[in-house]
Amino acid sequence: MTLPVIAIADSPLAQLAGLAFAKGHGTGNDFVLVADPDGALDISAAQSAALCDRHLGIGADGLIRAVRSELVPEGRAILAEDGSAEWFMDYRNADGSVSEMCGNGVRVFVAFLLDQGLVVLEPGQTLPVGTRAGIKRVERREEGFAVDMGPWEFIFPARAEADAGDSLVTADGLDVARPALSVSMGNPHTVVALAADAELTQLRLFEAPSVEPIPPHGTNVEFVVPAEPLVQDGVGTVSMRVHERGVGETQSCGTGACAAAVAIRHWAGAGAPDRWNVRVPGGTVGVAFVGGASGAERVELSGPAVIVAHGTLG
- Mean pLDDT, the chain, rounded, equals 94
pLDDT in tens, 135-170: 999 999 998 999 999 999 999 999 999 988 999 999
Higher pLDDT, 280 or 13: 280
pLDDT mean over 206-221: 96
Please indicate whether residue 52 is annotated as part of the active site: no
Is the per-residue pLDDT at 128 higher than 90? yes
pLDDT of residue 199: 97
Kindly name the residue from 85, 253, 259, 261 that is annotated as catalytic: 253
Residue 62 has pLDDT above 80, yes or no: yes
The active-site residue out of 102, 160, 211, 313 is 102
What percent of the chain has pLDDT above 90? Answer: 89
pLDDT for residue 281: 96
The pLDDT value recorded for residue 181 is 98
Distance of CA 108 to the CA centre of its chain: 10
**pLDDT attached to residue 298:** 94
Distance CA 246, CA 59 (A): 14
Helices (H) and strands (E) counted in the chain, each on its own, are: 6, 19
Query: What pLDDT, on the 0 to 100 scale, is given for residue 314?
Result: 82
Of all residues in the chain, the percent with pLDDT exceeding 70 is 96
pLDDT of residue 218: 94
With DSSP H G I counted as helix, E B as strand and the rest as coil, what are the percentages for the chain, rounded to 5?
20, 40, 40
- Binning pLDDT at 50, 70 and 90, where does residue 1 land? low
Residue 5 has pLDDT above 60, yes or no: no
Provide mean pLDDT across the span 74-97: 96
Count of CB atoms situated within 10 Å of the CB of 271: 6
Q: What is the largest CA-CA distance in the chain?
A: 59
213: preceding bond cis by omega (within 30 degrees): yes
pLDDT reported for residue 106: 97
Q: What does the alpha-carbon distance between residue 187 and residue 295 come to, in Å, rounded to a whole number?
A: 21
For residues 127-133, give the mean pLDDT: 96
Mean pLDDT of 70-81: 95
Query: Residue 291 has what pLDDT?
Result: 85
Question: For 278-299, how does the pLDDT look when each residue is reduced to its tens digit (9 = 90+)?
Answer: 999 999 999 999 986 677 899 9
What pLDDT shows up at residue 121?
97
The answer to whether residue 7 scores a pLDDT higher than 90 is no
Q: Residue 2 burial (CB < 10 Å; 0-12/13-18/19+)?
A: exposed
How much is the pLDDT for 11? 80
- How many CB atoms are closer than 10 A to CB 65? 20
Q: Is 26 helix (H, G, I), strand (E, B) or coil?
A: strand
